[in-house]
Structure 1
């Protein structure tokens, strides 16, 4: 029996689907950690990204800063924070929020920057205030890229919360770290499969949301050229033959 057969046999055992250490409980824990991380990261990052995209100010500071955050080694940051604040959920939560900030900020400001300036100027010309332009024009048109940033952050957070089980904590990473001392490679591979499946399902959900929030006339984050349909001239209306006035 090869490793994958052993892993699927492990997944098929009824004992692994019940109890406080069962697969459903670990999945719920993992989703809970991920959801909490994303809520905090969105609350911090989205206003920053919208401010940059709407005003154009702060980009030269925030963009390099978020780029530096991407370069941080997550496991190293996790250990440093654990030594500083102690074991528990706080250290990995801070580390994972830091990991989730850059893609959400980037999705927000790049989404607003992708909105045509002609559309923004037209909204201002008909009387929209600054906040009106932001929430009624820019944000709706930028939603696909905003959701795309959250989607990217969600995948990173799901994958990295697996590492946080090192502290120890719950979640799907528990299967991996519990299997290592016993060299239970079937459980190790089964836990990895569960993380992959969960990530794919969440990615598919965000892909669906991204498609649903895409306004008509918007493709790949850009405003399409939408022309209003006019009645074609006919011979019954000879005015179309008249030359255009200068």
Structure 2
């Protein structure tokens, strides 16, 4: 508990909020690295996942590749790329992109697959082109699951981007590595707490976004379904009683 309080005190220390290596600068670096990684991974994984979900082809291959990428140790990949590319952000970004692709890919094709095939057949029967079906039917209906995949990938990136400081000396991981090296455990724990807070804030934003992207018609249908469910029955004194119905 004392160490935890020391970590909080380190965060609240005004001296750590000014200067080139201050907390705001490290947070900005951490967010910048995470954003770059997310954009690169999304450009690769989301279109591919959308094609797989729309056509139904290549799913087994995508699952196999995703499983293989998930099995790669990020620190090992970071070390390998660091030895190859040298000091800088290139190695951490590549390692984090590999980490982010599987949840993005899974979220994309799962979102498209979740759309009822009868809805898609009805859209085709109305004369809609394939690009219209993707943009006006599958993408809006599957967007909550797609955003869920983006949310999962973002949290993994933010949590693992601390490793960028291992090679590039950027982001909140700098506090963790520096605290470990100098045995300043208050700084080390303070940096860890900052990463946790940042991840929780971002997760909260994505949770709100995930609710907002649900189409209004789907929300209305869910509300109607909940209101129209039959009353549950329960046994009391050996006799079933229908809740909401009086006799």
Q: Separation in 2 of the partners of 1:54 and 1:135?
A: 11
The correspondence of residues 51-90 of structure 1 with structure 2, limited to 5 A, is 51-90=51-90
Are the counterparts in 2 of residues 46 and 105 from structure 1 also a CA contact under 8 Å? yes
Name the TM-score, length of structure 1 as normaliser: 0.88
Are the counterparts in 1 of residues 162 and 171 from structure 2 also a CA contact under 8 Å? yes
Q: Which runs of 5+ in 2 are unaligned?
A: 226-247
The correspondence of residues 1-246 of structure 1 with structure 2, limited to 5 A, is 2-218=2-218
Are the counterparts in 2 of residues 217 and 225 from structure 1 also a CA contact under 8 Å? no
Q: Greater CA radius of gyration, 1 or 2?
A: 1
Are the counterparts in 2 of residues 217 and 226 from structure 1 also a CA contact under 8 Å? no
Q: Separation in 2 of the partners of 1:100 and 1:108?
A: 13
Are the counterparts in 1 of residues 92 and 163 from structure 2 also a CA contact under 8 Å? no
Q: CA deviation at 1:63?
A: 1.3
Q: Which of 197-206 and 51-60 deviates more?
A: 51-60
Q: Separation in 1 of the partners of 2:52 and 2:195?
A: 34
Moved over 2 A (4+): 216-219, 223-227
Equivalenced residues, count: 224
Are the counterparts in 1 of residues 77 and 95 from structure 2 also a CA contact under 8 Å? yes
Q: Separation in 1 of the partners of 2:69 and 2:222?
A: 34
Name the TM-score, length of structure 2 as normaliser: 0.87
Q: CA deviation at 1:7?
A: 1.1
Q: CA deviation at 1:217?
A: 4.5
Q: CA deviation at 1:225?
A: 10
- CA shift digits 1:80-133 (9 cap, x unpaired): 011111111001100100100000110010001000011101111111011111
Q: CA deviation at 1:224?
A: 5.5
Q: Which runs of 5+ in 1 are unaligned?
A: 228-246
Structure-2 change in CA distance of 1:2 and 1:138 (3 Å): same
Q: Which has the higher helix share?
A: 2
Q: CA deviation at 1:182?
A: 1.2
- CA shift digits 1:18-39 (9 cap, x unpaired): 1110000000000000000001
- CA shift digits 1:143-201 (9 cap, x unpaired): 00000000000000001110221113210000001111211011011000000000000
Q: Separation in 2 of the partners of 1:89 and 1:168?
A: 5
RMSD: 1.6
What does residue 238 of structure 2 align with? none
Q: Which of 157-166 and 135-144 deviates more?
A: 157-166
Are the counterparts in 2 of residues 180 and 188 from structure 1 also a CA contact under 8 Å? yes
Q: Which of 61-70 and 193-202 deviates more?
A: 61-70
What does residue 237 of structure 2 align with? none
